[in-house]
Amino acid sequence: MTSQRRRTFLVVSGLAILYAGFRIVPGLGREDLDFEEIDDPVGFRRLAAGKSSAGFDPFFGLEDPTGNNHAEAESRVRSNICATLYGDALGAGEDVPVASFSDSYCLYCRVQTKRLADMEARSASGIRVAWHELPLLGETSTLAAKAALAARNQGSYPAFHERLMKSPFQATPEYLQALADDIGIDHSQLTADMNGERILLELENSAAVARIFTFIGTPAMVIGRTVIQGEISERTIQDVVAREREEGWVSVCQQI
């Protein structure tokens, strides 16, 4: 091997090793993350992020679906905001919980919802996702949100939500029945759950969280104690998750 070829080989090999390190070793080549501490709720911080669907009145759709007073809903949520954010994902061992907020008719949510679902499905992802519906784009969004949450009760949230997002049709009772039949979930149970108090309360709580963290569009998420508005890359999600694990995100839930 000539000296020129040897140098070329060493350069290429070095780049390959460096690339592999970026993918395998958490924190290697980590992006600079610019956090801003949030005064309220105490302990949380905000990360400037990516793109959102927010071309509307930021307060439209954030009313409580049950018609309850905003202050009453927010007071209830604040009493244990981590439980509202993460639900069962809060006690998921060493995994970092992620609360995902989306609207079925938000273009950027299509990308981010699938990204999070794919990440969670990988055994070494280190995250557990709590899915929230934040219907900001009208009555059709609210109907789709209820259906997606009802599908989650049957273990089919990601598949149902993805089909809703990709469909050229607006959510109607007839379309939701066809979609349920196609995915293979119980339509009668879906309809019953959609109209139940539990899902109304979930939508009310998610709307209250959105007001507390001033989400003005979707997608939005909270990773550990980091609040993010907009679509972000998988790499950024991984970097935030690694930082949350290192810095002990759980402390914010213990002090509230």
Query: What is the predicted pLDDT for the residue at 53?
Result: 58
> Which residue in this structure is represented by tokens 């592999």?
20
Q: Put residue 148 in one of left, alpha, beta given phi > 0 → left and psi -120 to 50 → alpha.
A: alpha
The pLDDT, as a whole number, for residue 61 is: 44
pLDDT of the residue at 3: 53
The residues, any chain, with a CB within 8 Å of residue 221's CB and separated by 6 or more, are 98, 99, 100, 101, 112, 116, 227, 228
Which pLDDT score is estimated for 2? 57
Distance CA 159, CA 190 (A): 14
The residue ranges of every structural domain in the chain are 1-30, 33-255
Tokens found for residue 180: 């349920």
Give the Cα separation of 100 and 214 in Å (integer): 15
The torsion region of residue 165 among left (phi > 0), alpha (psi -120 to 50) and beta comes to alpha
Average pLDDT for runs of 10 along the chain of length 256? 48 39 43 84 86 48 53 91 90 85 88 91 88 90 92 88 81 89 93 93 94 92 95 94 92 75
pLDDT at 46: 95
Task: Quote the pLDDT of residue 50.
Answer: 64
CATH tag, 33-255: 3.40.30.10
Rounded Cα distance between 185 and 187, Å, is: 6
3-state secondary structure of 169: coil
Give pTM, 2 decimals: 0.78
